[in-house]
Amino acid sequence: MPQLTPPQVPHLDLAKALRRAASGDFPPVDGGFSRATPWRSGVEAAIAFTGHAVLAVGDDVTDGLMRDLGVHGYGGAHDPRTTAALAGDGEIGILDALLAGRGTGGPSPLVERPDLAQTPRARHAAHWRDEVRVYGLPDTTQPALATLGRGIAGLPEIGLEATDGSASALLDGLLRLVPAGEVVLASVTPGNARSLRFFLRHGFVPVGSVQQWRPTGDRQPPPRDQSMTPATRAGSA
C-alpha cells in the first residue's frame, strides 16, 4: 500500500490572527499547527492559542522536522525539547503570556527618554523588537520608563518598568501614542502575577502565549521515542 504524503502545514497571517484573537475570534481548536513568516531577521517564535499553535520559523525548518518534533496545538509547541531543537545553539527567550489591549490615540504626556535607553528593560526590548522608543514622565528625575516598539508579528508591543506608582500613568500615555483601536501587545512572564493583574485591570486580555529564540547551528530533532508523540505530549488538560 503506498505511503500517504502528509498535508502541507498551512501558512497563517499571524498579525491578522492576533488582531482577531484580541476581539475573541480565535483560530480553530483543532489540535493542529500553522506556520508564519518570522517578523524579525534572526528571531523565530512559537505562539500558542487555545488548541492551535503557530510556528514563526524560517524556510529551512521543514514541515517534516516540525512533525518529527511532535509539534501540535495542545501545548506541544512549547515543549522545551522542541524549542531547544529549533534554537540549536542559539539564545532562547522566556515563555510569556501574551496579552492584547487597544491604542487610544490622542495627546500623550510622555516624553522620550534617551537617557534610559541603556537600562536593562530598554535593552531587553531592543534585543527582541524593532524601532523601540523609550519614554518616561516629564519629570526627568524619575527613572520609571516605558517602551514602545514593533514586536510580535510586527504589531505594537509595550513594556513598563515602574516602582514609584507611575505604572498606570505610563500605560495610559503609551496607549495614547498608538492609533485608537489598534491592537497593542504585552508579553508578561506567567509567574509575575502582579504585572498580569495590572494589565488585566487596565483592559488587556489574554490571547495566548509566546516564546522567542535566535536560532544558530544545527537544528536536529532528538531521538524519537514515545514521549515525543503528540498523543503523549498533549496531556490531560
| Same structural domain, 123 and 69 | no
User: What pLDDT tens digit does each residue of the chain (237 aa) get?
Assistant: 566 778 899 999 999 999 999 999 999 999 999 999 999 999 999 999 999 999 999 999 999 999 999 999 999 999 999 999 999 999 999 999 999 999 999 899 999 999 999 999 999 999 999 999 999 988 888 889 999 999 999 999 999 999 878 999 999 999 999 999 999 999 999 999 999 999 999 999 999 999 999 999 777 766 655 445 444 444 433
Extract the C-alpha cell encoding 178.
498608538
| Same structural domain, 111 and 70 | no
Is 24 within the bounds of a domain? yes
Contact predicate 170/162, CB 8 Å: yes
| Same structural domain, 33 and 69 | yes
Is 54 within the bounds of a domain? yes
| Same structural domain, 121 and 183 | yes
| Same structural domain, 104 and 165 | yes
Is 3 within the bounds of a domain? no
Query: Burial code of 183-217, b = ≥16 C-beta within 10 A, e = fewer?
Result: bbbbbbeeeeeebbebbeeeebeebbbbbbbbbee
Name the domain count of the chain. 2
One-letter amino acid of 140: T
- Cβ neighbors of 129 (< 8 A, separation 6 or more) are 40, 147, 149, 150, 151, 157
**For residue 183, what are the domain limits?**
99-206
- pTM of this structure: 0.89
What's residue 223's pLDDT? Answer: 61
What's residue 197's pLDDT? Answer: 97
What CATH code is carried by the domain that includes residue 124?
3.40.630
Cα–Cα dist 9/59, whole Å? 12
What's residue 3's pLDDT? Answer: 64
